[in-house]
A and B are shown apart, each in its own frame.
Chain A
Amino acid sequence: MTPEAVPYGRKTQKPSPVSDVHILWITAGLGCDGDSVSITAATQPSIEDVLLGAIPGLPKVHLHNPVLAYENGDDFLKYWYQAEQGRLEPFVLVVEGSIPNEKIKKEGYWAGLGTDSKTGQPITTNEWIDRLAPKALAVVACGTCATYGGIHAMQGNPTGAMGLADYLGWDWKSKAGLPIVNVPGCPVQPDNFMETVLYLLYQVAGLAPMIPLDEQLRPLWLFGKTVHDGCDRAGYYEQGDFAEVYGSPKCIVKLGCWGPVVNCNVPKRGWMAGIGGCPNVGGICIGCTMPGFPDKFMPFMDEPPGAKVSAASISVYGKAIRTLRAFTNDTVNKEPKWRHSRSELTTGYRPGAY
Chain B
Amino acid sequence: MSTITSAAKGTPTGSRKLVEMNWDPITRIVGSLGIFTKIDFDNRQVAECHSTSSIFRGYSIFMKGKDPRDAHFITSRICGICGDNHATCATYAQNMAFGVRPPALAEWIVNLGEAAEYMFDHNIFQDNLVGVDFCEQMVKETNPSVYAKAEKTAAAGANLHGYRTIADIMKALNPFVGSFYREALQMSRMTREMFCLMEGRHVHPSTLYPGGVGTVPTIQLFTDYLVRLMKYVEFMKKVVPLHNDLFDFFYEALPGYEEVGRRRVLLGCWGSFNNPAVCDYSYKKMTDWGRAMYVTPGVVVDDKLVTSDLVDINLNIRILLGSSYYESWEHGEKFVQKDPLGNPVDQNHPWNQTTIPRPQKRDFGGKYTWVMSPRWLDKRTGDHLALDTGGGPIARLWATALAGLVDIGYIKSTGRSVKMYLPKTTSLPEVEFEWKIPKWSNAIERDRARTYFQVYAASAALYFVEQALSELHAGRTRTWSEFTVPQDAIGCGFHEAVRGVLSHHVVIRDGKIANYHPYPPTPWNANPRDIYGTPGPYEDAVQNTPIFEENGPDKFKGIDIMRAVRSFDPCLPCGVHMYLGNGKVLETHHSPMFGQRA
Contact = CB atoms under 8 A, between A and B. Distances in A.
A117 interface: yes
B226 interface: no
A105 B28 CA distance: 31
A155 B358 CA distance: 19
B30 interface: yes
Contact of A247 (B81, B361, B478): B478
A246 B325 contact: no
Contact of B217 (A122, A247, A277): A247
A252 to B, nearest CB: 7
30 contacts: A28-B55, A33-B81, A34-B204, A36-B80, A40-B128, A41-B192, A70-B175, A72-B27, A72-B28, A73-B26, A76-B27, A110-B55, A113-B25, A114-B579, A246-B213, A247-B106, A249-B216, A271-B202, A275-B196, A275-B197, A276-B193, A276-B200, A277-B206, A294-B74, A298-B66, A300-B70, A301-B67, A349-B58, A354-B358, A354-B359
Contacts of A122: 24, 34, 54, 362
A85 interface: no
Interface stretch (A7-15, A278-286, A308-316, A322-330): A278-286
B263 interface: no
B459 to A, nearest CB: 23
Contacts of B486: none
Interface string A94-126: 000000000001111111111101001110000
A69 B27 contact: yes
A273 B188 CA distance: 13
Contact of B62 (A27, A157, A266, A278): A157
A36 to B, nearest CB: 7
A278 B200 contact: yes
A187 B80 contact: yes
Contact of A156 (B62, B70, B581): B62
B491 to A, nearest CB: 17
Interface in B23-75: 23-32, 34, 54-58, 61-62, 64-67, 69-70, 73-74
Contacts of B596: none
A43 interface: yes
Nearest to B182: A48
Contact of A301 (B69, B185, B202, B361): B69
A218 to B, nearest CB: 19
Interface string B184-199: 0100110011011100
Most buried by A among B80, B207, B224: B80
Contacts of B212: 246-247
Nearest to B103: A247
A73 B359 contact: no
Nearest to A245: B480
Contacts of A273: 189, 193
A334 to B, nearest CB: 20
Given A108-B360, A151-B77, A281-B216, A246 B479 contact: yes
A285 B80 CA distance: 19
Contacts of B207: 246, 281-283
Contact of A158 (B32, B62, B213, B214): B62
A254 B510 CA distance: 25
B61 A349 contact: yes
Interface residues of B, number: 94
Contact of A32 (B70, B77, B188, B562): B77
A354 B325 CA distance: 11
Contacts of B74: 151, 154, 294
A76 B132 CA distance: 15
A31 B54 contact: no
A215 interface: no
Interface in B166-184: 175-177, 182
A34 B361 contact: no
Please classify how large the interface on chain A is, using the bins under 10, 10 to 19, 20 to 34, 35 or more: 35 or more
B215 interface: yes
Given A34-B80, A158-B357, A272-B192, A112 B32 contact: yes
A107 B106 CA distance: 48
A83 to B, nearest CB: 16
Interface string B560-596: 0010000000000101011111100000000000000
Contact of B206 (A27, A69, A283, A353): A283
B229 interface: no
B55 A111 contact: yes
Contacts of B25: 28, 66, 72-73, 76-77, 113-114
A48 B482 contact: no
Nearest to A108: B359
B179 to A, nearest CB: 12
Contacts of B23: 72-74
Given A68-B28, A70-B175, A276 B202 contact: yes
Contacts of A284: 206, 214
B77 A34 contact: yes
Most buried by A among B64, B202, B360, B557: B202
A351 interface: yes
A210 to B, nearest CB: 31
A6 interface: no
Given A110-B359, A283-B214, A186 B176 contact: no
Q: Considering the complex of A and B, which 10 residue pairs feature the smallest CB-CB distances, nearest first?
A: A283-B206, A34-B80, A108-B359, A276-B196, A282-B214, A32-B80, A247-B479, A299-B67, A73-B23, A353-B358
